[in-house]
Amino acid sequence: MVSKQRVFSGVQPTGKLHLGNYIGALKQWADHQDEYDNIFCVVDLHAITIPEAINPKLFRAKILEVAALYIACGIDPAKSTIFLQSQVPEHSELAWVLNCLTPLGWLQRMTQFKDKAGKSDSIGTGLLDYPVLMAADILLYDTQKVPVGEDQKQHIEFTRDLAQRLNTMFPEAKLVMPAPMIPPAGARVMGLDDPTVKMSKSIGETKKGHSVGLLDTPGDIKKAIMSAQTDSDNEARFDHCGPGVRNLLDLYLVLSGLSKHEIEEKFHGQGYGALKKGVLEQVMAAVEPVQARFNELTKDQAYLEETLRQGADRARGIAASTLKRVKEAIGFVV
């Protein structure tokens, strides 16, 4: 039997998880969980790279919220490993080893670092080091495929470069080269208020009407969709429309499963109001069961925390053996 490929991905417990995270990530992961050997992580150590944003009570709640949303979106802890990064200390330990092998220039060049650092006047070393911890996450599990958005491609390239460097210096480390797995184009959801930017967890937290939060009330979801930006035309066509209408049409396409032709026929001659109502129905049909499962899970925190501990135990078994291999390759006494 050919063994399944290892998949690893993670979401930071910050901001407001939204429809774009569902369509582009969580739902995809859940739909493909039988094909791969999956490890899904709540990357809480990454979340403290902007320490000013951390409020301990809210942080703890957000970590558990994201873990519960993984399960509520259909990731089954019996099939996939779900765990909290901070419960597996090997991540921090491999990150140290990798740090010592990372040229500073590689980190200073990263576009995400330059973006984030440019917005703040006091930056922590952790923010610069973010890609090294991410590389540790991926390499610890001999990961072959990393499902991430387009914006994370540079981080995967970085991980490959670092793995190559370590393997060249210490061949016995035998780190596995990971490859990104980018979701299909239609799975990229844009901001409802501004369809030129990707729907964002951080913008959605402060700006009403930007995103559909997976835990938003039906009233807020309705408001966000009905006030979505469109254009001055009124015919919904995939090839002749502005980015706002295209975003709504793409949402309808991925959520309904209908063809482009069927969708254009359905809304023919009815204006954008009808399209928005149609999108709203589809979105509610997707979000309602997620919210129902989420509410069930939050009633039983003990179950959730126990599930995460079991996930961490399994993850740790794999991570510890990779770390041992790397330490031995370097000459540590293990």
| Residues belonging to the active site | 116, 198, 201
13 Cβ neighbours under 8 A, 6+ residues apart: 42, 43, 44, 47, 59, 62, 63, 65, 66
Quick check: 46 binds ligand TRP (CB under 6 A)?
Answer: yes
Tokens of 13: 């417990």
**Judged by CB, which is closer to ligand TRP: 49, or 247?**
49
Question: Taking contact as CB under 6 A, which single stretch among the options 4-12, 114-122, 264-272, 312-320 is the one that binds ligand TRP?
Answer: 4-12
Residues facing 8 on adjacent strands? 39
Quick check: 138 binds ligand TRP (CB under 6 A)?
Answer: yes
Min dist. Cβ of residue 152 to ligand TRP (A)? 5
Quick check: 16 binds ligand TRP (CB under 6 A)?
Answer: no
Work out the number of other CB atoms within 10 angstroms of the CB of residue 50: 19
**How many whole angstroms separate alpha carbon 21 and alpha carbon 26?**
6
How far is C-alpha 134 from the chain's CA centre? 13
Quick check: 148 binds ligand TRP (CB under 6 A)?
Answer: yes
148 Cβ neighbours under 8 A, 6+ residues apart: 9, 155, 156, 180, 181, 182
* Binding track over 75-104 against ligand TRP, x by CB under 6 A: ------------------------------
- Cβ atoms of 227 and 276 closer than 8 Å: no
Quick check: 318 binds ligand TRP (CB under 6 A)?
Answer: no
Min dist. Cβ of residue 146 to ligand TRP (A)? 5
Question: Taking contact as CB under 6 A, which single stretch among the options 6-14, 30-38, 68-76, 120-128 is the one that binds ligand TRP?
Answer: 6-14
Site residues (CB under 6 A) for ligand TRP?
Answer: 8-10, 12, 43, 46, 134, 137-138, 146, 148, 152, 155
